Every structure is written in C-alpha cells, then in structure tokens.
Amino acid sequence: MPAVGYARVSTDDQAGSLPAQVSRLQAAGCSHVITDIETGRSTDRDGLLELMAMVRAGQVTELLVTRVDRLGRDAAYTDALLAQCEAHSVSVRALDGGTIETATPQGFLMARLQTGLAEMESRMLSLRLRRQFSVYRAEGRHLRRRKPFGYQGGPDHRLQPHPDHWPQALRVIEELRIQGSFSGVARWMTQWCEWTPSACNLQNWFCNPVIRGHIGHHRDRNTGKGWN
C-alpha cells in the first residue's frame, strides 16, 4: 500500500470537517485513509492503533496527514509515533508543513518543535476552557452544546424543558418506574417516542445528574464521559 492517510477531529461536533481532510489526502495520492473522532491527547485511538499496526507490519511506505497535530497533541507520544515510522522506513508528510523526519539532527529538531507546539496549543485551549467553565459553574450555567433528551437551551446558557420532549421524558421515567427494565422500556419507546435509544444509552440518560436538576459540569468517575 503506497500511501496511507490519517485524518482526525476531536469531537462529533467537528465531524463535518472530516470529509474535507479525507478529500485532501485522497487528492494527494492516498489509496486508503484512516479516520478518528477523538481528542488528540488520547493515545488509544482506534484508527491510530490500526495505522501503527500497518506501519509495523510493513504495509505502509508513506503516511500523509493534513497537519502534524492530526497525529496527536501529546508531544512525547507523537514523537514516539514518528520514531516508529522512521524505524520502519515510513516517510511522514504533512500537507500543511512538508516532510516530517527525525533521522537528521535538523529534522529531529523541527519535528520536536511541531509536536511541542501542537501540545502547547492544546494545553492553552484546555486552560481557557477550564477558566470559562469555572465561571459558568459558579453561575449555574450549562456547559456543553448537547442537551439531554427532554431539555432545550434557554437564555444565558441555562436549560429549560423542551415543549415537545419534556412530556415524553416524564412518560419514559414513569415507565421505567413501572417496568424496572431499560431494555424493555427502550423497545417500548420505539412505538411512539421521537427518541429511540439503545438500552445502554437509555440507562446513561437516566443516570445523568442533569435529569435530576443538577448541572453536570464534571465527568463520570467510572467512564470518564461527560454527563451532558
């Protein structure tokens, strides 16, 4: 496989920009493009793990990305990926940045600068968001765009009952009290409700503190997922 592309966006909200990355990589000569929708700080992305397995198996001769930060925003981890590519004679090229190599002292320095800048940008964004979230939390305001079923966005980032979904949500909660089964209620919802979640998603929704009137600013301690 001569050239493989890798495209990544951080969240579902950014997924609309993923096809643009894929199109650019294909136009640059990639016969196969692997994608991820995951933060660049994560080191266990499914697509990236698949890509590196192909690199180690000798199935890739050239790796293309639109920018080096698509590989990741953890400098140490991205440096290790580049070193693996170098060890398996895989050239790495960023469409917005040129060839990335670590074999020469100059190439190593440039690669380290690029990965370090990508991580710094990520850390600065995280810091700005944490500060903003602290203000929102103190004011009792909703943080994320995605609202739990039954709610809609109101003035000043506050949640309020959705005129159509709120009665449906109350009906679902009452049925859960009667049946005591997430799978049973999920099947029942397909007969009438606009929202038809799986049993697992229904359970996550039911356990969401926002449903009980709280603002879910922090993450689930068990799964690490955002409540909202």
Superfamily of domain 146-212: Putative Large Serine Recombinase; Chain B, Domain 2 (3.90.1750.20)
Residues in the chain: 228
Predicted confidence at residue 228, as pLDDT, reads 45
SS3 call for 142: coil
Domain ranges of the chain: 3-123, 146-212
Domain covering 3-123, topology: Rossmann fold (3.40.50)
pLDDT mean values, one per 10 residues, the chain (228 residues): 88 77 94 91 91 94 91 88 91 85 76 81 82 73 71 79 94 94 94 92 84 59 52
DSSP single-letter state for residue 7 = E
Predicted confidence at residue 227, as pLDDT, reads 47
Q: CB neighbours (10 Å) of residue 219?
A: 12
Place of tokens 């991580």: 119
Catalytic residue numbers read 10
Whole-angstrom Cα distance, residue 28 to residue 64?
8
Whole-angstrom Cα distance, residue 224 to residue 41?
14
